Chain A
Amino acid sequence: MSVLEISGLHAEVAGTEILRGIDLTIASGEVHAVMGPNGAGKSTLSAVIMGRSGYTVTSGSITLDGVDLLALSTWERAVAGVHLIMQYPTEVPGVSLLDALGEALQYRGRDASDLADRLKAEADRIGFEHRFLDRPLNVDLSGGEKKRNETLQLAVLQPQFAILDELDSGLDIDALRDCSRRVEELSNDAKRPLGVLAITHYSRLLNELRPDHIHILVKGQIVNSGGPELAAVLERDGYAAFTDEDDEPAAGSATSSLDDLFRI
């Protein structure tokens, strides 16, 4: 059992504070969704967890089973057990999936000798055509194929935690279903259940992924946390209520009145 803990996290980009005190605790096998409108800080959250350059943590901590992730570089965080599925996976011309994952496994001290077979097996499970396995990473793939490719990598690398940054963007409904189901399977794995942090704007992902916990992120703060019922309310009313409330000067009182909103 592993725990990814984000505590009192403040972060800025180019001198502007984007995250203003985030607290989140995710355990193995749990699926958490962080939802928020544009500009809430969703992408910043995933970038800060992975240690992307250009994002500065000004206070707070991120730990994985007590290990200080903020002290590690991006690749070390990945090796430590946090995997990012990117919103827009980058095209890397001339670099094959096999080469990239072969290196990635090697630096995890894991055997890569049967990697080609594992990739094929995973490709079958996720509906990723074998011919795409030989393409350079993400080059000439559709949005749906890119996300299947990302999910395939997740399944092969077997991290403790996955950050899904807008998994549903650029994705057709079939691909969304295939990717979500695979992530859900991994989170239900009896031996090493995956912990999931799904960051998303739209609730349609949640119809497929079925999170245990939903957090509403507005202007760099989590203004509400609850169970799956929160998604239904959001689906109906949108973010308007949250953003309006957030304009109130006292954040504490805003949170309590939001609770009222969801007491249906």
Chain B
Amino acid sequence: MLALADLQLPTADAEIWRYSRIAELDISKFEIQHGSQTVSGDDSFVTTGTDADSSVATPDVFAEYNASHQQTVRVDIPADTSVSEPIVIEFQSADGSATFPRTVIRLGSHASCTVIERFRSVGDAPSLTSPLLSIEAGPGAKVTYLAVNDLNESSWQIGHQLVSAGRDSFVRLSTITLGGYYTRVRTEATSKETGSAIEQVALYFAGGDQMHDFRVIQNHVAEHTSSDLLFKGAVQDSARSVYTGMISIDEGAKGTSANQTNRNLTLSEGAWAESVPNLDIRNNDVRCSHASTVGPINEEQRYYLESRGVPPEVAERLVVLGFFDEVLGRLPDGDIVDEVRERVARKLSIGVSS
């Protein structure tokens, strides 16, 4: 077993850690423990365990530690099986703990399911959660995954998501990040076989001293694959956010369609958002687009609402919720959309008064 004291932290000199808070992470403050992990919803095809697992690639040191210390929820949907009720995983990290939750989702051919995973803190003190998600979608399979980060604002999350989409499969990865002192997710979504489609949506909203950090690769290996990414974020107070995205298209991936859109609202003078979309295209027969914006609330929109008799802080709330609406509309059905809208509204009003 790897000991936490031996963990060699990466440095911000490496491009993939640029702008990050990795230099601030004091690993000695944490102790490896198991968090509380519960599964609800339809658990017919769910197993859990803590045996070391080397079946999933380990792109960096946190993924290596995850392989050694993981608590796994494994979702194995057999071929031609459709699980309609969402599978909900709740993971709670205790104060001072370092935890390594792992979620492995495997779908047989033409299987389908929805998995919702929520990360929470037990208390208010810092913890380190380093989750790993692995999704392999078989031919014609359909999977929707949603991660909701609700950690307290002193905690660290350094996570990995690895997706492999089989022939004609459809994978939707969605992320809601409101929590954490430093929340980082690194995603490698690979369109591995012909005809596969991957959608990624994220909503993040950092306030106070929070930082939200996303590193995403849309990796096209096979031909006639598609990927669509929409990440929308807001920062207020002295919060920070980073989006670094890469559309990577192999020589053999002709007929690929890939879109990458990242939009950010900076709601306070002291807030900062970085957006870096990249393209690495090695085939001429492809359709790619990328768009990236960082800026304050549109003054015209605010004025329009104010001219109807809506106070500025309410106009701002409406505009910010409207900005996120596009992402909220692509989340799994259920109470989550109303809940997120309410929490974004509450966070905005806290930001305004402080």
Does A92 lie at the interface of the complex (its beta carbon under 8 Å from any beta carbon of B)? Answer: yes
A95 to B322, CA, bound (A): 5
Whether A92 and B318, one on each chain, are in contact in the complex, defined by CB atoms closer than 8 angstroms, is: yes
Point out the residues of chain B lying under 8 angstroms from A53, CB to CB: 299, 303
Point out the residues of chain A lying under 8 angstroms from B323, CB to CB: 93-94
Point out the residues of chain A lying under 8 angstroms from B41, CB to CB: none
Whether B325 and A79, one on each chain, are in contact in the complex, defined by CB atoms closer than 8 angstroms, is: no
Of the 9-residue stretches A61-69, A82-90, A173-181, A190-198, which lies at the interface with chain B? A82-90
**Chain B residue at minimal CB-CB distance from A54:** B299
A89 to B303, CA, bound (A): 11
Point out the residues of chain A lying under 8 angstroms from B312, CB to CB: 73, 75
- Write out, one digit per residue, whether chain A residues 49-81 have a CB within 8 A of any chain B CB (1) or not (0): 010110000000000000000000111001100
Whether B308 and A153, one on each chain, are in contact in the complex, defined by CB atoms closer than 8 angstroms, is: yes
Whether B310 and A100, one on each chain, are in contact in the complex, defined by CB atoms closer than 8 angstroms, is: yes
Distance in Å from the Cβ of B211 to the closest Cβ of chain A? 25
Point out the residues of chain B lying under 8 angstroms from A90, CB to CB: 298, 300-301, 303-304
Distance in Å from the Cβ of A49 to the closest Cβ of chain B? 10
A74: contacting residue among B306, B321, B322, B326, CB under 8 A: B306
Does A129 lie at the interface of the complex (its beta carbon under 8 Å from any beta carbon of B)? Answer: no
Point out the residues of chain B lying under 8 angstroms from A108, CB to CB: 309
B310: contacting residue among A86, A93, A94, A103, CB under 8 A: A103
- Write out, one digit per residue, whether chain B residues 300-332 have a CB within 8 A of any chain A CB (1) or not (0): 110111111111101100110111111000000
A179 to B250, CA, bound (A): 56
Distance in Å from the Cβ of A253 to the closest Cβ of chain B? 39
Distance in Å from the Cβ of B315 to the closest Cβ of chain A? 8
Question: Restricting to A155-181, which residues have a CB under 8 Å from any CB of B?
Answer: 157
A107 to B309, CA, bound (A): 7
How many chain B residues sit at the interface, stated as a range, is 20 to 34
Whether A104 and B309, one on each chain, are in contact in the complex, defined by CB atoms closer than 8 angstroms, is: yes
Interface centre among A73, A91, A103 (most CB of B within 10 A): A103
Point out the residues of chain B lying under 8 angstroms from A99, CB to CB: 318
Whether A52 and B303, one on each chain, are in contact in the complex, defined by CB atoms closer than 8 angstroms, is: yes
From known contacts A104-B309, A108-B309, infer whether A74 and B303 are also in contact, taking CB-CB under 8 Å: yes
Query: Which 8 pairs, one residue from A and one from B, show the smallest C-beta to C-beta distance?
Result: A94-B322, A94-B325, A78-B309, A95-B322, A90-B304, A74-B306, A104-B309, A75-B306
- A78-B306, A78-B309, A92-B304 are known; give 13 further A-B pairs, CB within 8 A: A52-B303, A75-B315, A83-B307, A86-B304, A90-B301, A92-B319, A93-B323, A93-B325, A93-B326, A94-B324, A100-B305, A103-B310, A107-B309
A residues contacting B by CB (< 8 A) are 50, 52-53, 73-75, 78-79, 83-84, 86, 89-95, 99-101, 103-104, 107-108, 136-137, 153, 157
List 23 A–B pairs whose Cβ atoms lie within 8 Å, in order of A's numbering: A53-B303, A73-B312, A74-B306, A75-B306, A75-B308, A75-B309, A78-B306, A78-B308, A90-B298, A90-B300, A92-B322, A93-B325, A93-B326, A94-B321, A95-B305, A95-B321, A100-B305, A100-B308, A103-B310, A104-B308, A104-B309, A104-B310, A136-B325
